[in-house]
Structure formats: structure tokens, C-alpha cells
Structure 1
């Protein structure tokens, strides 16, 4: 079988994908195999003595859609002789079946498939009548070309060496991951140091009021209002006791833990029993594994000197009288040592927050009806509070 005729048949049947190069040979399905550099019957018009090789024709027919300049560059990169420009159209017409013949074709006599020219059908004479070898060859003839390729494949890269890219490295990714892990460990250490981890107490039912708080009855750290660090123990958040404010001891837990605002009057109807002196809240919607707990109280007058050391946040009314009898000179000193929050409805008048805007407090706005937005507001509180805690931990 002439390789030119065979290539034409595969092109017309749209089976070029079945032509596979294995080493220095081209395999046409499971039937024929020819050397890549074998000369075909097609002569170049430019150089009469030049016959195009099989690899030249296969490279041309698979890339005939390219512009001639791009095709020439592609052929040079593969070190394969290219088809000249005058030969392109008549050769393409012949291979695709538009023309039946060409004056450039001068067929050569090729041996039949059972002769020695076809590597797939190896002759007994060339193998020294080795019947075992002939049996192996017949087995190979029946195998899929892709299987033959995979059988001789050698791994050049493993999962480690594949990361070794030129002008590329993953050191920045490694350092970022390491830095993140160090920050997490540092945060856990600070949580334990300042008594913010209250997981065991919470699992036992949380903090109660009065004597049920479970505090150590031993001596406490002395009050140091002039310092910048937080006192030892669970931090305290103060909320107003007046029902006229949005956040109270009744609804603060649902707001901070679940990100849902429930009006005080509604929550009061749901509750049974007396008003708690103290409740515990923790940040639930967090990726951190550390459970951070805070006490929430609404009676500043009941705090002892050592308790004031643990006060880290306050929800303000926007009234000066709220800070009466506080152990601070003025609201400037208060919000220098304690982070302040003012919770308001987003459609309230500007006058309602006029006083609070003059203070160093975080104004948090929520909707009267869109409860799905409460979570974002609660996250604002936690982010500001955690930022304050980090600044006071050094």
C-alpha cells in the first residue's frame, strides 16, 4: 500500500486521528506502519527531484488551516520540511478528494503488508525464524496504539518536581499559611491568658446571676484605670437598663450570638422568671475554634473596683447621665478605655444620634423590618470589639 494513497483515504474518511506516531514510525490504525521519513509519490513542483516525505504530508494536512507563514514557522519549530506555497492547493485538493489525481504524483512500488517494509507485519526471514518473537508481534498488532504508547511511557515528573516551575515558586503561599497559623495560635494564647475561653463553663450551663457566676472567691487584681490592659477574668459588656433603648439585657444574647434583633417588649413576654443580673454571650458565627465568652450586665452601680477592670464595651443611650457615678472623669476617658456602641434604626432621625456622634463610639444601624440584615450589624459589633481586645492585649 502506497503511504500517499493511504493518507488520502484516511483524510477523506476523516480518520486522521487514527494515524499515530510511535518513535520513528507512523501507524495507520492497526493495519499499516511506515517510517516517518519515507518518501511518497508526491513530487514538489518547485524542486522536481524532491519528493515529500510522509511526515511532511501528515504535518501539512493536520495544519492546513494555518496561514502559510504560520505553517512555515510551525514546521521549522518541529524541524519538519514544509510544503511549498505553489504545492499547497493542489496537494490539499488531492488529499481531501476534490481531485482524483495530480501530475505531481509518480507512484513508487511498495511491498505488500506481508512483506518486510511494513514493521507491523515483521517477516520471518528478518527475525531468524523466531516463532516466539513472531507471536509477540502478532499480539502487538491487535493492541490499541494508545496502549502501546502507555506501555513505554516513563514518568518525568512526580507531584513534588511538578511544583518546580521556572520563575515560579510557592514560598509566598507557604509563608502566608504559616503566618495565619501563627496568628491563630497567638489568638488562642491570648484568649487563655485573659480568661476569655469559657467553654467548660458554657457546657455546664453558662453563667448565672449572683452567686451562680462561679467566680473564684480569692483576691482579685487591683483596679488600674490608668493602664491600658484588661483585668483578669471574663470581660464585661454593659448595656442600658432602660427599656427605651434598642439593646437590653433581655435581647442582647439573641442579637450578638444569633445575629437576630428581637424587640425588648417581645422578648420580655417570652421570658419566664425574674430579670437576670448577668448573662453570658459568645460569638457563635465564627470560623475560630476558640470560644470567646463575655458577661453582659446592666447595673454599673453593682460593679466592684476589680469588676471595672474587666469592662471592655458599653452600649450607650446617647445621654450623659448614663455615665453618672462611673469611675472615670468624662466620656473622653471612658471611650479611651472602653469601646462604645450606639444601636439605632437606620430610618431614625439624625437628632437621635447627635450626641453619640460626638463621642468615640461605633454607630450600628439596623432595619425595623429586614431581620436578615441583623447578622451584618452584629458582625460589626464583634469586629470592633475583637479589634479593641487585640489592642488592649499587648
Structure 2
């Protein structure tokens, strides 16, 4: 019995607990014993044969996630089963499949002869070989020789049988595998990044829920007394820090195409953290330009936080609508604020938080006017779209902080 077949047999029978390590060998009950470092017949897709120690450790810990399995094997100095090999190897050891191209039962280098004392290894003889008329007599001869019965063996036919059992050491996939490379550190780093992202999402959810509860609490306090509300007209934003008007908060964006953020692409940027150029979104939308877009902060899958209306036509706002305007994305030109119900941009940015979006490698001249205003400059990359999420989060952080300050004023 070879080590791989013995391990498979004990795995199928559910007797892994009977495999005991004694010094440098594994004892399979009272039946077999093999060196821990013995190479098995299962070849990794990277080209090397797995040792018995590696397979015993794997089959006893296969229920662990791959990263946990690696972390457990590494301190013990046990080479690990690679991720691509896990599923097919486990299916073979558990008896779900009867064979695998990765298995190579090798023949010892001793020359085969007709001497009755010759010892033939316990090779697994496949049914397809046994069924062959040309090889069956020689297989019978080998079996008789194992039993101590002298037999003549046709050496060429035996060699044909051996070649039929051979498997290629390399294929297209294995040639593309990187040998002698340890990607464990890469896997750990990517796992940590994912955990950090989830932690940030969780924190953002908590902050958003706190902001929403505070905002709802302030509105209930303000409008809880209906008689007072009916008797007193709703105040308008004439003082710094005036509370938000009744209804969904409003974010204004420029209607000009020369700005990065417009009503066409604002939803993808603020909701999904991805910047898509306006001209691309216009082609994708295939419809009339929307008058209003609703956006929500939903960087996590679990909850959706406060909704906002995004508009690009300030002239269409009613006087009471201006009480709900909480943010504006500026174009960088004074004429953008023409006919706004404020005397100048100083008053505007005392009552409304301003943002200016630009590419990080744009010239300083593009933000010359903006730098004189109370506006937050948001820079994004022209090509590195994975960085858009950070920029979008910065917008949400500052917007929510501003909304909280207005709600408590």
C-alpha cells in the first residue's frame, strides 16, 4: 500500500484519528507506517509531489478557510496545499472521485526480469489496462510473481503498460505557474485591506446613523408643536447656521459640461464612489436630462443613510426650497451665483458648504478663484478609479459634519 492510497482509505473510513505520528513517521493503526517526509503520488499543479505530512495536515484541517489554514501550517513548518489543488485533492481523498490526472504512481527503477524472486510493487492496475487483451497476460504474470509463482514476463509489453500509466509532469497551466515564489504575504496584505475597508464602512454607517438621528431629533423639536408651527411662518436662511428647511436636503451642481461633476454622473460618484465622465454617462442614459436626482450614502450593503436631492437649475428653486440647500459643487466662476438670494459668495459659503472637484494634475490656475472662497477642493485622479471612493467619502464626511452643525445651531 502506498502512502496516498492508505491516507485515502483511512479518510473514507473516517479513521483519521488512528493515524498517529511517532517521531518521524506516521503509523496507520497497526497496518502501515510511512516516513512523514515520504512523497505521495499526488502532484501539485506547481509541479512538485506532496509529502505525506502535508496531506495528513491538510485533510485534518480542510474545514478551515485557506488563509486560516496557511496561518496554522506556517508556524509548524509544514508545506501547504495550494489553493487551486484544495478542492480536487479533497474530493479524491474523501472518495468523491475515483481518480485524478494529478496522481502519478511511479514504478521503482529496478529492471523487470523473469526471476521468480523478483518483487513487483503493489501498483494500482486500472480497469482499462486489465481489459486490454495485449496486456492482460502480463498483468496476470506480475500478479503470479507477487504471489511467488514463477512466470515469464514479456518485457516490451510490460514497458508498454508502464508508459500507459505515466502522466506528463507539466502542462500548459503548470508552465504558467510561478515556482519557488511565496505569495503568502500578498494574500495576508489583501486580506488586511479588505478588513480595513469593512471596518471603515462600519464606522461610516455608525456616523451616518448618528447624524440622521440627530437631524430627525432637531426637526421634531422644531416642528413638534403644530400650533406654534402653524402660527409662525417658516424662517428663511438669513443668518449663518440657520437650520435646514422642511423636506429632503438639496445639493446643487453646475449645469455646464466643463465641470467634472454634473447631474448626469453625480449619482455614481456619491453613491458608488466611482467617477464616470459626463459625456460617457450621457451616452449611457439614452434619455432626457433629469431635473432632479436622488442620491444616498450607501457605501455599505447593510443600511442606507439620509437621502439628498441633486439639482442643477437654481433658477427653478422656490424661496422655501433655498432653506433646504445644504451643498453646492462650484464651477469656479462668479456668474454661477447670478440671481441667487445672497449678496455675495461670502454669505453663500457661510450658509452652504461648497465643493470644487478637479483632477489632481490640473494647473493651479483652474482653482485660482476657488482658493479665495470658503470651499473644499476635492482632487481625483484621471486614471486611478480605485481612488474615487476616498474622494467621495471625504465629500460625505464634510457634508454630514456641516449638516449636523446646522441642525444644532
**Which has more helix, going by share of residues?**
2
Structure 1 or 2, whichever has the larger Rg, is 1
